[in-house]
Structure 1
Amino acid sequence: MMADRVHPVQPEPATGPIPDPWESPRSSASSQSILPKPVRQPGSYVIQVPRDLVLRVPPKGNGSRAKAYARRRGCCFLVFAWLGALLFLLAVVADILYLVFRPRVPQYSIDALSIASFNLSAASVSPAFDATVRAENPNKKVGIYYRDGSDITVAYDGVTLCTGAWLAFYQSPGNVTVFVAALKGSTIRLSSAARQALVTAETQRQVPLEIDVKVPVRIKFGGVTSWTITVKLKCDVTVTGLTENAKIVSKKCGVKVKLFKFLGL
């Protein structure tokens, strides 16, 4: 009797992914699970908006802040408008004054200097200066009120030697006034270098002095008088010596009047 032959059966090839031997069964199962898709409700839509375009609701206090800012802007605008109108009005007034009165800057000069009690051999000096001042008003329709509170100083190389005051008076149009201003110094101590420089300058008959003047004035334009302004006068004067008979070798004066500068002069 012939024995039956047993043929080996080949296993069928597996279908599907080959499992990873290092992967746990739980993670494999989760990776193969399929999440359910969200169900959209009828009539609803999902719209994606860029972050830069997301509109935010402002805080409650921002409205009042915006109103206050708008009020401040309005006030600033009004202030600048008033300032512009004022500047325009001042320019118009200046033009009218110039066209009607034709103002000219007054002229000043130091015509003489008489110096006493200036002993360079003493430890301290108390000099007395008599300065002859010439003031000319070249205007035909403009008067000048010289008021109290003026100041005149005479200095050498930055050291004040004496002080005094300007004559207070009214100068009519076209007037020339010459007056003497009495200036005095008290117990002035000069350094050895300044003393030696003065001795050398007096020997050479070339003593440079600086004269500064500040005087409050009011300008009269016909029937209108300006506010109080300051006339500043600076003179560089060179004299032959520090004596009563000193002669002026050279002089140069410059004047500044703010009102005449405002008028373009």
Structure 2
Amino acid sequence: MADRVHPTSSPPRSADASQLPPKPDHPGSESPVPPPATYVIQVPKDQIYRHPPPENARRMKNYSRRNPRRSCCCRCLCWTLGLLALFLVLLAATAGILYLVFRPESPKYSVEDVAVRGFNLSSASTVSPKFDVTIRARNPNNKIGIYYEKESSVEVYYSDVRLCNGALPAFYQPSNNLTVLVTNLEGSNVILSSGVHSALVNDQEKGKVPLRVRVKAPVKLKIGAVKTWTITVKVKCDVAVDSLTTSSKILSKDCDYSVKLWD
């Protein structure tokens, strides 16, 4: 009988070092941090520009291009605006200084008397009245005189009908002066409509005839030794008289005026 052979256990093979897990450097050290992930972004080919688009390129070229003529015009415009601003500042400062030095005040005007001649209302066709209007002009300024120039006008209206007209005399009014002017006004063949004639007769019977006196006078101011340009003064006075006779009396009056600095 053959003997049974029992295999003997072979010694264990040494494991490959490459298959063994790495040993930590120190017993308590952490595992190594893995490398950061890498992302790939895909951009469409038609959106990749190696050069700017044609429209942007033309715009950039226009911006970068310098026009000497345009630059010169811009500089001239800037200088002009700067000089104009400086002139306005100097003008305002001069006007302020003159105002503080001379303290200008507005002249005062009023109608003191109205005498009427030749106003015949018995005929409704035409009238040719004559008015003697007394105007009072007062200059309250201490250092300013007033030159009243030619080509002035004085007119008297009833409603919208001009009854007569005339002019003021040319004269010089010094400072702190009161001047009373008597102007002779005449009307020639003034046509009165039936409605205006009836209203005028009715007002005279009531003893209150409303009239309007308009004065337009070109003047020049004398400020120290300087004479200004021509300034137009307009005066409007609403006057009510008791009758259209030489002995008429003023019942009420209200005067207002305006100044036009430039023609």
TM-score (norm 1): 0.72
Secondary structure of 2:101 counterpart: helix
1:80 aligns with 2:88: no
Q: Which of 54, 58, 75 does residue 55 from structure 1 map onto?
A: 58
1:167 partner letter:
P
1:242 aligns with 2:244: yes
Secondary structure of 1:170 counterpart: strand
For the residues of structure 1 that align with 2:137 and 2:230, how far apart are their CA atoms? 19
Q: What residue ranges of structure 1 are gaps of 5+ in the alignment?
A: 1-45, 260-265
For the residues of structure 2 that align with 1:207 and 1:249, how far apart are their CA atoms? 9
For the residues of structure 2 that align with 1:192 and 1:72, how far apart are their CA atoms? 68
2:168 partner letter:
W
The 8 Å contact of residues 105 and 257 in structure 1, kept in 2 or not, is answered as no
Larger radius of gyration: 2
1:75, distance to aligned residue in structure 2 (A): 3.9
1:240 partner letter:
D
1:107 partner letter:
K
Match of 1:125 in 2: 127
Alpha-carbon spacing, 1:88–1:182, altered in 2? closer, same or farther (3 Å): same
Aligned length: 211
Alpha-carbon spacing, 1:67–1:217, altered in 2? closer, same or farther (3 Å): same
- Alignment root-mean-square deviation, CA: 2.5
Q: Which of 155, 158, 162 does residue 157 from structure 2 map onto?
A: 155
- How do 1:25-174 and structure 2 match up within 5 A? 47=50, 49-50=52-53, 52-55=55-58, 66-122=67-123, 123-174=125-176
Alpha-carbon spacing, 1:179–1:57, altered in 2? closer, same or farther (3 Å): closer
The 8 Å contact of residues 112 and 133 in structure 1, kept in 2 or not, is answered as yes
For the residues of structure 2 that align with 1:245 and 1:203, how far apart are their CA atoms? 16
Alpha-carbon spacing, 1:52–1:58, altered in 2? closer, same or farther (3 Å): closer
1:211 partner letter:
V
TM-score (norm 2): 0.72
- How do 1:13-32 and structure 2 match up within 5 A? none
Alpha-carbon spacing, 1:71–1:198, altered in 2? closer, same or farther (3 Å): farther
Match of 2:36 in 1: none
Alpha-carbon spacing, 1:223–1:118, altered in 2? closer, same or farther (3 Å): same
Q: Deviations over 1:10-63 (max 9, x none)?
A: xxxxxxxxxxxxxxxxxxxxxxxxxxxxxxxxxxxx94754543437989xxx8
The 8 Å contact of residues 238 and 251 in structure 1, kept in 2 or not, is answered as yes
The 8 Å contact of residues 127 and 185 in structure 1, kept in 2 or not, is answered as yes
Secondary structure of 1:235 counterpart: strand
Match of 1:190 in 2: 192
Q: Which of 212, 219, 222 does residue 217 from structure 1 map onto?
A: 219
Alpha-carbon spacing, 1:86–1:49, altered in 2? closer, same or farther (3 Å): closer
Identity of aligned residues (%): 46
Alpha-carbon spacing, 1:254–1:52, altered in 2? closer, same or farther (3 Å): same
For the residues of structure 2 that align with 1:230 and 1:247, how far apart are their CA atoms? 30
Q: What residue ranges of structure 2 are gaps of 5+ in the alignment?
A: 1-48
Match of 2:38 in 1: none
